[in-house]
Structure 1
Amino acid sequence: MQKSFLIALIAAAVGALVIFQFLPTFPAYLAFILGAVLALGICAIAPSGNNAATVETDYTGPTMTLYVGNLPYRVHEGDVKSLFAEYGPVNSVRLVRDRKTGRRKGFGFVEMSESGAQKAMVKLNDYTFQERTLKVREAKNQDNESEKSDD
């Protein structure tokens, strides 16, 4: 709310300056009021970032976590999310970093809808992404691995 008010105030001031430049005989206070009205009209028409229709929510159906290997070291979570989102809703992307250096290790995990994950595994395994050939598999469950090692 505060951010949009600041934007409207700046737009009103700019609008007042523009109106005052083209109509120098027009009173400055009226130019500011006209600029404010125009700015509020623009803010009302422009889509706001917190609309219920534009807020992303996590997929709540059956999900699957995918292991994604051979990722470029400079890739960002958003890049990976948009790549996988072509095949279904993506809940999260986690790129693994080295604890000491903080640098990415070149692999990560994508949690997404089960049907989308199946499609993504078929389409994106051995897919060239930013000059690297991706390896996409179903992620192994750590709980199952630790239970097997206890036996």
Structure 2
Amino acid sequence: MKTSISLLITAAIALIGFFILNSSQTVITSNGASFALGAISVGIALSLLSTKSAGESSSELPTSTNSKTIYVGNLPYRANENDVKELFAKHGEVFAVRLMKDKRTGKRRGFGFVVMAAADSPEAIEALNNAEYGDRTLKVREANDPRKSERA
């Protein structure tokens, strides 16, 4: 889908370049050469823009090598994402918190996942597993990767 849109945009800009180069008093007299020059310049511009934006966004998101996903079970139903984030932030850098909800009722199901720095996750698991939180005993462990179980 993105490729076809990129091709359409490239073709449109190449046509514009063709008309501009063809109408001005330039050295290029061939219609094909004008079109090709427009397409090449647009391709170069688009590739420079896409590599710049890809480089910027990849540094902001945690990758699997520097983050771990942790399962948190037996959470109080009244706990929200901010509460859980504050709890885990005491033990390291937290990237994201996702608490599961029942699809039908929208109520929390009492478990969720925390994505945090890989270096900090063992300490957080050790400190929070079997800890009391909101009159409940938390169950904290490294989350299973469903992709690993599919390969085995």
1:11-32 per-position Cα deviation (integer Å, ceiling 9, x unaligned) = xxxxxxxxxxxxxxxxxxxxxx
Counterpart in 2 of 1:120? 124
- Partners of 1:102 and 1:134 lie apart in 2 by 22
Structure 1 unaligned regions, length at least 5: 1-56
> Residue 74 of structure 1 is aligned with which of 71, 78, 98?
78
Root-mean-square deviation (Å): 1.6
Structure 2 unaligned regions, length at least 5: 1-59
Structure that is richer in helix per residue? 2
1:1-150 equivalence runs, <5 A: 62-148=66-152
1:83-119 per-position Cα deviation (integer Å, ceiling 9, x unaligned) = 0001111000000011111111100000001121110
- Partners of 1:130 and 1:62 lie apart in 2 by 30
TM-score by length of structure 2 reads: 0.57
One-letter amino acid matched to 1:146: E
* Residue 59 of structure 1: how far off its partner (Å): 5.8
- Partners of 1:58 and 1:86 lie apart in 2 by 21
- Partners of 1:59 and 1:100 lie apart in 2 by 31
Q: Which runs of 4+ in 1 moved over 4 A?
A: 57-61
One-letter amino acid matched to 2:112: G
One-letter amino acid matched to 1:65: T
Aligned residues: 92
TM-score by length of structure 1 reads: 0.57
